[in-house]
Structure 1
């Protein structure tokens, strides 16, 4: 898989303009780490953090203990929707977030620029969902998991793109879709096919400049996290950006 390096917001936008329209999904990351969902990630020794039994138990325990805090728990139709809900509250699942907004992906990629002591390269991946699903489930359409009792665990040969109901404000604001992995799937980038996945690298020394440019356009944390803590985060970030600009000048 080839990758492109950018240093400015204008270069990122130029890349988007040249990107084939079939690459409708993207994901921003603050570092160049494997494209695996939280439940399947590995430690520094290369061992999986969670055994399969633990992953299943996480979801079962969440179901048992969350009912009293939910208005309509019976409205959740299948295990994948339970994963969508549980992941929002920090449960490791086999789902990886993507978005239909490439500008949101860029904000995710650079959002911790002022928190990182080292100037770490950020990454945005761009995904062609129809080609991925054609490869792994032999159909081009994105799989809609709403209104069905469940998704059979062995119907696909690798990660597939799914969509469901926007069950919380964050998923809706982020224009989110998801890639569903099976327990033994490899990282998504192992596909190594430019017609399915492309990679863009943002030079670490430029991530603060790009984040500043996004804020100047009104794209902020409260834009993707429609929650009160984001308001506070934006206030602090605006000050960090002002201090940064003052120091540069």
Structure 2
């Protein structure tokens, strides 16, 4: 993939300003060295590492079965905490709900907004951050050419309970069962049809142009100005995470911005 390191914020605006809305999707990560891996993929890697530390050997994990049990456990217990749930057969919406509440899934969060993705890149950490910019239309077109008329059938088999023998692919989708946070973040998800390799490994196998995937690196020295830029655009925790929890998260940046940014207007009376 193509890598661009910004030298000033106008560079970022120029890079993302040329991307057609909804044809391009964006993901921010607070460390530029982190690859594109789902939380479920990382959970399997961590489990294997722990087993290897114990006896010197990695454990052979049945990843499909582990995922099936996780989904089943969530579906059986979610009603204890939530009043509104997806239809039982809508597994992608169930996965998106699991992702929303922090369960490990095969999904990666993306946004149609490059500036929402930038917020996620800058909301935590002190190192170089990154925003991934991906032309998901180019990915879909390559799948059309590779799988032919079977593309939609391939996508529909993403959650086959016994796994599939289909070649690896990525599938971008907006769940039919949405929520307020997803709306605020202009969010969508990218799923894989395999649990054996990561999103980034699959992405690198696509026959698309280098310019269809751009890794925009934000040097650590630009974090402060980036956060100020986003706050002026009203992109902050209060709006990205609707509710009291988001409002409270926004206070984490108070020491960064200084008191003059936080005091209530008219409070001097």
| Whole-angstrom CA distance in 1 between matches of 2:182 and 2:87 | 17
Aligned residues: 235
Equivalent residue for 1:217?
233
Quote the RMSD (CA, aligned, Å): 3.3
**Counterpart position of 2:55:** none
TM-score (norm 1): 0.80
TM-score (norm 2): 0.74
8 Å contact kept, 1:39–1:50: no
Mapping 1:195-234, distance limit 5 Å: 195-234=211-250
Alpha-carbon spacing, 1:225–1:63, altered in 2? closer, same or farther (3 Å) = same
Return 64-73 or 204-213, whichever deviates more: 64-73
- SS of 1:207 mapped into structure 2: helix
Equivalent pair of 1:8/1:209 in contact (CA under 8 Å):
no
What residue number does 1:56 align with?
A: 68
- 8 Å contact kept, 1:23–1:126: no
Ranges in structure 2 where 5+ consecutive residues have no aligned partner: 53-57, 262-269
Q: Identify, as 1 or 2, the structure richer in helix.
A: 2
Indicate if the aligned counterparts of 1:3 and 1:198 stay in contact, CA closer than 8 A: yes
The structure number with the bigger radius of gyration is 2
Query: Which structure 1 segments of 5+ residues have no match?
Result: none
Matches of residues 1-249 of structure 1 in structure 2 within 5 Å? 1-19=1-19, 23-32=23-32, 33-41=34-42, 42-43=45-46, 52=63, 53-73=65-85, 75-112=87-124, 116=125, 119-136=126-143, 138=147, 152=160, 154=164, 157-181=168-192, 182-188=194-200, 189-191=203-205, 193-242=209-258
Say whether the 8 Å CA contact 1:78–1:149 is kept in structure 2.
no
